[in-house]
Amino acid sequence: MEMVIYMKEIVIATKNKHKIEEMKAVLIPIGYDVLSLFDFDEFPEIIEDQDSFKGNAMKKAKELSDYLNKTVISDDSGLEVEALEGAPGIFSARYAGDNASYEDNNELLLLSMKHKENRTARFVTSLCVYFRDKEPIFIEQYLYGSIAKDYKGANGFGYDPIFIVKEDGRRLAEYTMEEKNAISHRGKCLKELIPILENIK
């Protein structure tokens, strides 16, 4: 009799191709069949209206899991700048407006920081895995650094070209995907998540 091997299935709650690539690089090697919102014709529009990264991650994961009846992994990530009292924070993706491009957001941030001496900043990722039959998993991690005064690097996305990583002074956009996954806020979350998922039956 032929043995049937069932892959564990998980849905990434995003259409951001960069996030999908980063998460697939970690989840596929540990035996997950990874889907994203590109794989579904219909799913509810989820308004990220919570007041924290964790709240937004939880809301996305739960609502999509309820709708799709599948395990869902969701994250909410952003940039917190000390001199701007934590802005752009949970509004990082739409800092310059609802339809803002990465460049629009970067330009507004550089303008906001023009006369600031304190350029300390950190990236935040709050990650949630929501199961149909288990308690959800929450992980939050950070990447510390500072805001540059210009652009550098051709990799990554979002604020990566203007974020100077504290450890080595390079821009995050100068890292390869493998290097970024090893040190980034989202990469740290996924690294912490791997042994947890591996031990789930």
Angle at 166 between CA 13 and CA 176, to 5 degrees: 55
Does the annotation mark 76 as catalytic?
yes
Q: Is the dihedral of CA 140, 141, 145, 151 positive or negative?
A: negative
d(CA 165, CA 11): 30
199 CB-near residues (< 8 Å, 6+ apart): none
8 Å CB contact between 123 and 184:
yes
Of residues 75, 76, 104, 160, which has the active-site annotation?
76
What residues are labeled active site? Answer: 76
